Amino acid sequence: MNAPLRRAEIDLDAYRANLDLVRDWMDPVEVMAIMKADAYGHGLEPIALAAVDAGIRWIGVLTVPAALRLRAIGVGEDVHLFTWQHDPALDFRDAIDSAVDLGVSNAAELQRVIDAVDQRPARVHLGVDSGLHRDGATADAWPELVSLAVAAQRAGRIVVVAAYTHLAETSDDDDSAAVAVFDRAVETAEDLGLDVPMEHVAASLAGLERKEFRKDMVRMGGNLFGIPGADGVSAADLGLEPVMTLTASVAKTKRVPVDTGVSYDYTYRTATETTLALVPVGYADGVPRLAQGRVEVAIGGKRYPIAGRVAMDQFLVDVGDDEVQVGDTVVLFGTGERDELTVLEWAAALDTIGEEIVCRIGSRVPRVYEGHDVEGRVGEYLRGEP
């Protein structure tokens, strides 16, 4: 079988190993596996099925349509699907009927949820804005949201599952102040007659570093993909494995003379007669134009810099007199086993975070799944079996 010209290899065994490790660390605190943005670019359905097979009971997917995609492939209601960013025009009926958990940020949004309730009560998580100023109710708006929730719960229209917030991860002091804001909001809610059954505030970084923030559940995204939050700890130090390896096949090679201008604008000129190898991955696939001069790719266990501009669909490397052939595997980033850089090294070189690199891998890069799960439910899903 021919490998696709470019591909993102997704190691589901690595994902599961990370999941096991993280659940071990957090035990007895519950772990919600965060899979927004198509599971950080790794592909929502296969990652979710692997996580469910591993016994995960909470998945965070950001939006209702993503949650419904998972219900549609058989992720049952014993797995809670948390969503928290809602289209203002969304009709919540399908979400409620499919027992999708809804994070709500304000009274107007909660009212829309309540209005959509038909047979069964809506499962609601009340969001607190503790300082990030994205989702959640500010201290001023919180009592109104809580009072509406109390009334709707008494009327049997909703079930309040949890209160939650998300932290800015600016500094320990800022996060402590944010959690104090959250704790005060929970007290206010209790004063207003709400029983708060569950609290969740921490994501990967705070979940690891601030034990006291774990509360009842941590929401883990990056760690599970082998991309720990910053703070100088490497994935390997933590025992986390990279899940995505980005590879391509050399599509063309050509011999060129000394002083040949390469790619748009001739920003690179050959120093000698040499061989150029064409790597069919470009900025449309998520390799930033900025990568020129900042990252190297591995071919046959040897590193080569990107020669000249990264184009939409391809870039070139100058392989000198090395025996590089059409069809040879080029590893852009991965585990490091084939002498390639890791995604965290890419992120450092490109002044960003690993999450941005993996999320930007474009839709024309097929995700190729590997690992034991491919023999099970994930394989059936990929083959289109019911």
Residues designated as active site: 36, 264
Report, in Å, the least distance between residue 84 CB and ligand PLP.
6
φ/ψ of 308, rounded to 5, equals: 85, -175
CB 70 within 8 A of CB 107: no
Cβ neighbours of residue 155 closer than 8 Å, sequence gap 6 or more: none
Selected binder of ligand PLP within 166, 214, 215, 367 (CB under 6 A): 166
Task: Name the residue with tokens 């009971």.
Answer: 57
Strand 158-164 relative to strand 58-62, pairing: unpaired
CB 246 within 8 A of CB 333: yes
Report, in Å, the least distance between residue 85 CB and ligand PLP.
8
Q: How many C-alpha atoms does 163 have within 13 Å on its Cβ side?
A: 25
Indicate whether 203 belongs to the interface with ligand PLP (CB under 6 A): yes
Q: Among residues 117 and 203, whose Cβ is nearest to ligand PLP?
A: 203
Report, in Å, the least distance between residue 353 CB and ligand PLP.
9
Selected binder of ligand PLP within 8, 110, 145, 220 (CB under 6 A): 220
Q: Among residues 169 and 340, whose Cβ is nearest to ligand PLP?
A: 169
Report, in Å, the least distance between residue 59 CB and ligand PLP.
12
Q: Please report, to the nearest 10 degrees, the dihedral formed by the alpha carbons of residues 321, 275, 280, 284 taken in order.
A: 110
Stretch that binds ligand PLP, among 6-14, 218-226, 303-311, 322-330 (CB under 6 A): 218-226
Report, in Å, the least distance between residue 69 CB and ligand PLP.
18
Indicate whether 204 belongs to the interface with ligand PLP (CB under 6 A): yes
Stretch that binds ligand PLP, among 16-24, 215-223, 238-246, 305-313 (CB under 6 A): 215-223
Indicate whether 18 belongs to the interface with ligand PLP (CB under 6 A): no
Q: Is 177 exposed, middle or buried (0-12, 13-18, 19+ CB in 10 A)?
A: middle
CA distance 200 to 26: 13
Q: Among residues 203 and 361, whose Cβ is nearest to ligand PLP?
A: 203
Tokens matching residue 262: 């390469």
Indicate whether 226 belongs to the interface with ligand PLP (CB under 6 A): no
By beta-carbon distance, which residue lies closest to ligand PLP? 221
Q: Among residues 8 and 208, whose Cβ is nearest to ligand PLP?
A: 208
Cβ neighbours of residue 231 closer than 8 Å, sequence gap 6 or more: 205, 209
Indicate whether 51 belongs to the interface with ligand PLP (CB under 6 A): no
Q: Among residues 222 and 308, whose Cβ is nearest to ligand PLP?
A: 222
Selected binder of ligand PLP within 41, 222, 242, 308 (CB under 6 A): 222
Sequential DSSP letters for 260-290: -EESGGG-EE-SSSEEEEEE---GGGT--GG
Indicate whether 242 belongs to the interface with ligand PLP (CB under 6 A): no
Q: Among residues 48 and 203, whose Cβ is nearest to ligand PLP?
A: 203
φ/ψ of 130, rounded to 5, equals: -100, 10
Selected binder of ligand PLP within 43, 136, 221, 286 (CB under 6 A): 221
Q: How many residues bind ligand PLP (CB under 6 A)?
A: 12
Indicate whether 125 belongs to the interface with ligand PLP (CB under 6 A): no
Stretch that binds ligand PLP, among 173-181, 214-222, 230-238, 370-378 (CB under 6 A): 214-222
**SS3 assignment, position 94:** helix
Asked if omega into 280 is within 30° of 0 (cis), the reply is no
Indicate whether 219 belongs to the interface with ligand PLP (CB under 6 A): yes
φ/ψ of 305, rounded to 5, equals: -75, 160
Which ranges in 192-278 belong to alpha helices (H)?
204-209, 235-238
Task: Name the residue with tokens 């049952």.
Answer: 76
Q: Which of 331, 335, 341, 329 is nearest to 243 (CA)?
A: 335
Stretch that binds ligand PLP, among 88-96, 151-159, 217-225, 268-276 (CB under 6 A): 217-225
CA distance 278 to 286: 17
Between CA 178 and CA 163, with CA 112 as vertex, the angle to 5 degrees is 25
Residues at the interface with ligand PLP (CB under 6 A): 34, 36, 84, 166, 203-205, 219-222, 229
